Amino acid sequence: MIIRTLGAGAGGGLPQWNCGCPQCRAARAGEIAAMTQSSLALSADGRAWVLLNASPDLRQQLAATPALHPRGLRDSPVAAVVLTNADVDHIAGLLSLREKTPFRLFATASTLTVLAENAVFAVLDPALVTPVAITLGQPFCPLPGLEITAYAVPGKVALYLEGPEVETRAMGEQTIGLRIVQGGRVLHYLPGCADLPDWLCDRLTEADLLLFDGTVWADDDMQRSGTGAKTGARMGHLAMSGPEGSLARLAGLTARRVYTHINNTNPVLLPGAPERAALFAAGWELAADGMEIVL
């Protein structure tokens, strides 16, 4: 399995257009690498590819990735897109795939309904773009030899669908994790996850590679940095640190562990940050745009 991080950033990317936090300033100054928004490309053979989420930066991500360039006059190696939720940073890139090339679009029925209810997505010609509803727990193959099984993980509806009351750790079709198998090797992909209950930690023990939600270091990253009032929990993202955080909860895994969907406010992005050293000392890696892993 060939895994390529197209975008390792969370919504907004790094730098984010309206942010002057230390990480965004360092990225603008060229001191640390910029990150586009959350998306991954997968292939079994290096020829046909599936995108996991379609970020608003997809056009730029495709341009930067020769393996995803057309090989003929009008075609694309991108055969399918799989969505893990309906967040803007995971669906807006679909609008860049509207130029009359066929692909299959896999998402839960509830995420497909969100797209169907937003008229702008009608730019995806139904004669060419085939929606396929994912049933949780039921394997599907977006590419020959690459089997994916989706499962519910704690999460919330997309920001633009929030009502007055928001269940931030809801279980259902709104936020899914993906178990991806090829040639007996197992990847779990969870770019958004609000909690790690025992059953989920147990499920992840089988992974050879884990790509996990790296949005915030601490629940109050945004408050402490003065960039906003929202906690990680309120945004539907589990912190890395703390007794219930992903570093502690997943300490027993043997898998290669990589954080992705990293928010620009996360202090681990700064060289020399103690949080960054703690993450590496715990055996984790940070994804970066263009990172390739062969599993």
Give exposure, 58-74, as e/b (b: 16+ Cβ within 10 Å): bebbbeebeebeeeeee
- In angstroms, rounded to a whole number, what is the distance separating the alpha carbons of residues 57 and 39? 9
Cβ of residue 263: shortest distance to ligand MLT, in angstroms? Answer: 8
Site for Zn ion, residues 234 to 273, rule: CB under 5 A: 264
- Between 87 and 195, whose beta carbon lies closer to ligand MLT? 87
Strand partners, 262: 9
| C-beta closer to Zn ion: residue 85 or 266 | 266
Amino acid at 185: R
Which residues, including other chains, have CB under 8 Å from residue 208's CB and lie 6 or more apart? 185, 186, 187, 255, 256, 295
Helical (H) or strand (E) element with 202? helix 198-204
CB distance 207 to 253 below 8 Å: yes
Integer CA distances (angstroms), 241 to 135, 214, 265, in order: 33, 10, 14
**Contact partner at residue 159 from Mn ion, Zn ion, ligand MLT, none, CB < 5 to 8 Å by partner kind:** ligand MLT
Which listed residue (77, 154, 155, 236) binds ligand MLT by CB under 6 A?
A: 236
Show the site string, 158-177: x = touches ligand MLT by CB under 6 A, - = not.
Answer: -x------------------
Contact between 37 and Zn ion by CB under 5 A: the answer reads no
Q: Which of 24, 68, 238, 250 binds Zn ion (CB under 5 A)?
A: 24
Interface residues with Zn ion (CB under 5 A) are: 19, 21, 24, 264
Q: Which residues bind ligand MLT (CB under 6 A)?
A: 10-11, 87-89, 159, 192, 235-236
Which residues are at the interface with Mn ion (CB under 5 A)?
Answer: 10-11, 87, 89
